Amino acid sequence: MSDRLFYQLVHHIEHLILYSLVLWQVYFILKWLLKYVSKNFKFESKIISPQTQVIEHISKNKEYTKESIKKDLGAIDVKVDKKIFIDKPGEVDIKLDEVKKGKVKTQKDKLKKLRGK
């Protein structure tokens, strides 16, 4: 009985090793393939910004080619009117209320009546 159990254990370990080797091979092949594709093939990513939208709009409406249009429009100036007043006050006049010492009265009964309880 123990011989059969030993052979089953060895059989399962063999399968575990073979399956792990196959998985590692697949991993390295995919890694190599991705590295090869990224080096040898260039994929264009199109970033849509307000500048490219203006260029596309002008080229569609006026039949200009993209080469004839200046691609970098630079900064776009926007006029913003803000009125900010920063100055020190001439006089500082702070009035404090009187400080009364004593217990604070909570009017729980009035609050309960207002809530309807």
| Digit-coded pLDDT (tens) for 12-58 | 999 999 999 999 999 999 999 999 988 888 777 666 666 666 666 66
| Domains: count for the chain | 2
Residues 2 and 27 in one domain: yes
- Could you report the per-residue pLDDT of 65-99, keeping only the tens digit for each? 555 555 555 666 666 667 776 767 666 666 766 76
The pLDDT assigned to 64 comes to 55
Residue 7 to residue 13: CA distance in whole angstroms = 10
28 and 39 inside one domain: yes
**Are 19 and 35 contained in the same domain?**
yes
Same domain, 33 and 14: yes
Rounded distance between C-alpha atoms, residue 95 and residue 64, angstroms: 70
Domain that includes residue 29, residue range: 1-43
Q: What is the pLDDT of residue 30?
A: 96
11 occurs within a structural domain: yes
Answer yes or no: do 2 and 21 share one domain.
Answer: yes
